[in-house]
Amino acid sequence: MATTRNPGSAVPDADPNDTGSTQGPVYPRFVTRRTRPQPCRWCGREVADAGLGRRRQYCRQSCRQRAYEQRALVKGTAVPTDAVVLTAEEAAELSDRVYQVRCAAEDVATAVAEGAPPAELRRLCEELLGAAKAADGWR
């Protein structure tokens, strides 16, 4: 292996006389940890991180199976594989949950603008978080 021409570079230049090596590629010795949790692609729960290797996409085997079944059902149809299909009742319920979140956020903004005491702001923020968590559970 030749020395690097660019001293700031961590990647060495290729040796023009090198005809190949029996060793595999050289990888850096440091490993970065993932800090952001990843949601399950089916149900939205947090997926446990094994640390190394490719990230898991599903939290459980049953979620992986449901995703496969859904992809198989829409294969060969005009429905995109990533489409979310809701009944009219589910769509109305989701719309209601989003409306509740918007109202709770407006209540917090109004209380802040009017100079509400911290205890009231804390209560309103808790209501907002509750409404947001309920709206997030639609999957």
Q: Phi, psi (5° rounding) for residue 39? A: -80, 155
What is the predicted pLDDT for the residue at 96? 93
In single-letter form, the type of residue at position 38 comes to Q
Is-contact 43 62, C-beta < 8 A? no
Provide the token pair at 86: 């809701």
Is-contact 91 82, C-beta < 8 A? no
- Angle at Cα 66 formed by Cα 50 and Cα 132, nearest 5°? 75
3-state secondary structure of 46: strand
Stretches in the chain below the pLDDT threshold 70: 1-35, 137-139
In single-letter form, the type of residue at position 47 comes to V
The model carries a pTM of: 0.51
Residue spans per domain, the chain: 36-82, 86-139
Q: Which residues pair with 39 in a beta bridge?
A: 46
* Segment (H or E) for 47: strand 46-47
What is the predicted pLDDT for the residue at 133? 86
Residue-wise DSSP of 63-112: HHHHHHHHHHHHTTSSS-TT-----HHHHHHHHHHHHHHHHHHHHHHHHH
